[in-house]
Amino acid sequence: MSSDKPSDDAAAKADAAQNDAGDGSISDKTGDGNGAEEVKEDAPARDDDPDGEGEASGDLQPAEEEEEEETAHGPDDTEDGGGDDNVNNYGGDGAAGADYEGKDDGAPPAKKPSSGLVIGLIIAVGVAAFFAGAYSISMYQEQPDQLTQEDLDDALAKLELKMMQQQMAALQQQQQQPPAIQISADDDPTIGDADAPITIIEFSDFQCPFCARFSSQTLPSIQEEYIDKGLVKLVYRDFPLQHIHPNAAVTALAAECADDQGGFKGMHDILFEKQSEWNRAGPEDIIEMLSGYASDTGIDAAEFEECVVMGTHIEDIKGDLEDGRSYGVTGTPGFFIGNDDVGYVSIEGAQPYDVFKRVIDSQLER
C-alpha cells in the first residue's frame, strides 16, 4: 500500500504538469493566432469578441478551454489566419510561417510551404502564364512538396519580368503607330492628284497661327516629296474656331468660293501668307480685302464676292465642324492620314515634317 502512494503522487503531479502545459500551449497559440503576419503587442480581437475590446490572448470560457485543450495537440491544429487566408502573401514572413503545427515538446518544427500556398501559387502562375505566354508550371504540379521559398520567389520574378517585357513592347508599338480609324474626306477642296493612294485630311482654321506654321514650314516638303509625285493628296476641311477667331468663318467661305472657280490652292496659300494682314480686319474691310486676294489669284472677283456675301457654303462649313468634332478634333490643325482600305492615323498640331513622313511611309507600305 505504501509503495503505491508515491506513484499516485507522481501521477497527480504529471497530470498537473500536463494541464499547465496544455493551458500554456493554448495561450501561446492564441497569442500568435495571426502568425502569418508580424505579431504585435496589440493583436487583433478574436472572432468571439465582436466589440474588439478583448486581446488576442484573452481568457477563454471554461467550455472553450476544454475544447481548446482537447484539440491543441491534434495533427490538424491550425489557428485562424494561419491557413488559406495567407495564400497570397508570397515571399513574405506570413508565407514562411503560415502552417506551424503544435508540438508537445514545445520545439518549433521545420518550415515548409503550406499546401494552400502551393495551390494558390499554381493558380496564380497558371493565370499569369495564360496572359504572359508559355511559361511551364509542370514542375510545381508534379512535385509541390519539394518547393522552397526560393523556388516560389524565382517563379514569380520570371513571370513578372515576362509580363513587363510584353507590356513595354505593346506600349512601344502603340507609340510608333497610333490606331487606325475611319474618316470621311467628304467633297471638300483637294490639293494633288485625286487618285493618289494616300490622303491627308486636314481640319484647319485660316486664322489659326499654328495652321499657318504648318502651311509655311511643313506642307512645302510634303508637297515636294509626296503630293507632286502623285503619292498623296491633301483634303482641306474647315474647322473655324469662331469664338476666338472672328474672321475664321468668312475666310473659310472665301476659300470655298474660290474652289468653285478652281482657285482653292491660290486662295489657301495667300490667306495663310497674309494672315497678319487681314487677321484684325473689321467686318467692313474684310470682304474688300478678300476680293483683292481673289483678283490676285486670277479668279472672277465679282462672282467670288457674291458667293461670300450670300454665304453659299455656310452649311458645308457647319458640316465640316460637326464631322471634325465627331472624329475627336478639339483644336487646329488636326490631321488624318490614310485611306478607306488601311484606315486613317491621326496627328494633332503643327508637327514637324519627320512626323508626317513616318506616318505617310507607314501607310504607303500597308
Alpha carbons within 13 angstroms on the beta-carbon side of residue 128 total 21
Name residue 340's amino acid. D
Looking at the domain assignment, is residue 181 inside a domain? no
Q: What is the pLDDT of residue 68?
A: 44
Looking at the domain assignment, is residue 108 inside a domain? no
Most confident range (mean pLDDT) of 74-88, 90-104, 152-166 is 152-166
Mean of the pLDDT values across residues 117-134? Answer: 49
**Residue after which a domain boundary falls, among 124, 151, 176:** 176
Residues 66 and 137 grouped into a single domain:
no
The pLDDT tens digits for 216-274 are: 999 999 999 999 999 999 999 999 999 999 999 999 999 999 999 999 999 999 999 99
Q: Which residue would you say has higher pLDDT here, 311 or 79?
A: 311
Q: Which residue would you say has higher pLDDT here, 182 or 322?
A: 322
Name residue 118's amino acid. V
Looking at the domain assignment, is residue 96 inside a domain? no
Residue 152: strand, helix, or coil: helix
| Residue 246 burial class via C-beta count within 10 angstroms: exposed 0-12, middle 13-18, buried 19 and up | middle
Cα 252 to Cα 290: distance, rounded to the nearest angstrom? 11
Residues 340 and 258 grouped into a single domain:
yes
Q: Where are the alpha helices (DSSP H) in 274-352?
A: 275-278, 283-296, 301-309, 314-326
The count of domains in the chain is: 3
Q: Which residue would you say has higher pLDDT here, 35 or 287?
A: 287
pLDDT at 86 over 70: no
pLDDT-based confidence at 338, cuts 50/70/90? very high
Mean of the pLDDT values across residues 52-73? Answer: 42
Looking at the domain assignment, is residue 217 inside a domain? yes
pLDDT-based confidence at 151, cuts 50/70/90? confident
Residues 264 and 289 grouped into a single domain:
yes
Q: Which residue would you say has higher pLDDT here, 150 or 47?
A: 150
**Residue after which a domain boundary falls, among 129, 146, 176:** 176
**Is residue 58 within 8 Å of 33, Cβ to Cβ?**
no
Q: Which CATH number goes with the domain that contains 257? A: 3.40.30.10
Residues 302 and 211 grouped into a single domain:
yes
Can the peptide bond before residue 75 be classed as cis, meaning omega within 30 degrees of 0?
no
Q: What is the pLDDT of residue 142?
A: 47
- Which residues have C-beta within 8 Å of that of residue 192, sequence separation ≥ 6? 227, 228, 230, 232, 233, 234
Query: Angle at Cα 317 formed by Cα 313 and Cα 323, nearest 5°?
Result: 145
Residue 205: strand, helix, or coil: coil
Residues 216 and 360 grouped into a single domain:
yes
Residues 237 and 350 grouped into a single domain:
yes
Looking at the domain assignment, is residue 158 inside a domain? yes
pLDDT at 303 over 60: yes
Angle at which helices 115-132 and 149-176 cross, to 10°: 20
Residues 166 and 202 grouped into a single domain:
no
Looking at the domain assignment, is residue 90 inside a domain? no
Identify the residue whose cell numbers are 465582436: 50
Mean of the pLDDT values across residues 38-51? Answer: 41
Residues 221 and 355 grouped into a single domain:
yes
pLDDT-based confidence at 131, cuts 50/70/90? very low
User: What single-letter DSSP state applies at residue 181?
Assistant: B
The pLDDT tens digits for 111-120 are: 555 555 555 5
Looking at the domain assignment, is residue 107 inside a domain? no
Q: What is the pLDDT of residue 74?
A: 43
Beta strands in the chain (DSSP E): 190-191, 198-204, 232-238, 334-339, 343-348
Give all strands of the β-sheet with 232-238 in edge-to-edge order: 190-191, 232-238, 198-204, 334-339, 343-348
Q: Give percent above pLDDT 70 in the chain.
A: 57
Angle at which helices 4-31 and 62-71 cross, to 10°: 100
Residues 349 and 262 grouped into a single domain:
yes
Whole domain around residue 331: which residue ranges?
190-365
Residues 54 and 161 grouped into a single domain:
no
Q: What is the pLDDT of residue 40?
A: 38
